[in-house]
Amino acid sequence: MLGVCGSVYLFNFAPGHLSIYMEALKETNFFFPDQTDFYRGKVRDVYYFEDKLAVVATDRISAFDVVLPRAIPYKGQVLNQIAAYSLAATTDLVPNWVQTQPDPNVTIGIKCEPFKVEMVIRGYLAGHAWREYQSGKREVCGQALPDGLRENDKLPAPIITPTTKAAAGHDEDIAPENIIATGLVSAADYAQLESYTRALFARGTELAAKRGLILVDTKYEFGKAGDKIYVIDEIHTPDSSRYFYAEGYAERQEKNRPQRQLSKEFVRQWLIDNNFQGKAGQQIPEMTDEWLHLISDRYIELYEVITGEKFVKTSYTNITERIELSIRQNF
């Protein structure tokens, strides 16, 4: 028997746009006979089985560790397919959790015990690091930053600035020595995480350059199955990474102009401009149909730029039944 269908949000674009009827997958609510657990993250629904898990990439979007009230059409498909592309391109460097992708929104793979830290690596001074720098700080997670840098400047060398992995609320910056001292990760495992992080970032930078992009910063999550460390979750997607267009980068920096970027940062900046940074008492601004259309287009644009392939929109008709069947067929 099929489980309860997930929420599907429907909307029309604002006047002035081509009239298109679209949907967005906000959540799923399945139950499978061999299922052992379920977890709803900020953007993914995770179904646990004995030694595997099935991850559904929904269209939810989060910023400042808050899930925004409206879902973005095709976002889940974009993230799932970019992650599959990027993980396949790095299997020679780092073991990853993926076994199969039976649906555009679903990935099935090895169940790992996640490390309670996210490995953030930065090649440029942007986003959170820039906001910290602008406030006067010259150190992030124990990594020293020189004076005289401007927003979006290339750093002398990539720096790793880990964060805690919060089950709820905000992730927090944490220095490597504190990760080890508090027992979040052993010294040996942390050394391996740093090595894997640098290798993945170097490969991501190389792949981005081939597509006319700069990989500015990104985060990686890792987990353990037995004694083996795997990279888990997604990599090199607009939710986990920031990209600039390489063409015109130097000129824009010289003239102190904003960089052309493909990432979720423009969503964060829009929220900041509307007085929201996820702090207590702040109200999430209204996300109009027009704004959701823009976000959806940005996600699709990044997919096409980074993969070099045309994005094929899958139908939202019976999407929850399709997703559920794809998981059932693998367990």
- Residues 222 and 241 both lie in one domain: yes
| In a domain? residue 300 | no
| In a domain? residue 154 | yes
- Residues 134 and 259 both lie in one domain: yes
- Residues 205 and 139 both lie in one domain: yes
Residue 146 sits in a domain whose CATH number is 3.30.470.20
CB distance 56 to 28 below 8 Å: yes
| In a domain? residue 83 | yes
Q: How far apart are CA 302 and CA 234, in angstroms?
A: 15
In this prediction the pTM is 0.85
- Residues 154 and 190 both lie in one domain: yes
CB distance 86 to 135 below 8 Å: no
Q: How far apart are CA 13 and CA 28, in angstroms?
A: 24
- Residues 185 and 254 both lie in one domain: yes
Helix/strand/coil for 227: coil
String of b and e for 291-330 (b: at least 16 CB within 10 Å)? bbbebbebbbebbeebbeeebeeeebeebbebbbebbbee
- Residues 314 and 238 both lie in one domain: no
| In a domain? residue 72 | yes
| In a domain? residue 41 | yes
- Residues 178 and 251 both lie in one domain: yes
Per DSSP, 257 falls in state P
Domain count for the chain, please give it: 2
Q: Which of 221, 231, 217, 219 is nearest to 158 (CA)?
A: 217
Last residue of a domain, one of 227, 251, 273: 273
Structural domain of 318 = 8-113+309-328
Q: What is the pLDDT of residue 22?
A: 54
| In a domain? residue 27 | yes
- Residues 156 and 189 both lie in one domain: yes
SS3 breakdown of the chain: % helix, strand, coil, rounded to 5?
A: 30, 30, 45
CB distance 105 to 77 below 8 Å: yes
CB distance 331 to 102 below 8 Å: no
With tokens 């808050």, the residue in question is: 66
The rounded average pLDDT for each run of 10 residues, N- to C-terminus, in the chain (331 residues) is: 38 38 83 96 95 97 91 95 96 97 98 96 94 92 93 96 74 91 96 98 97 96 97 92 95 95 82 92 92 90 92 95 97 91
- Residues 218 and 313 both lie in one domain: no
| In a domain? residue 215 | yes
**Mean pLDDT estimate for the chain:** 90
- Residues 32 and 100 both lie in one domain: yes
Residue 81 sits in a domain whose CATH number is 3.30.200.20
| In a domain? residue 2 | no
Q: What is the pLDDT of residue 170?
A: 60
- Residues 39 and 158 both lie in one domain: no
Give tens-digit pLDDT for 152-203.
999 999 999 999 976 555 678 999 999 999 999 999 999 999 999 999 999 9
- Residues 102 and 167 both lie in one domain: no
Per DSSP, 260 falls in state P
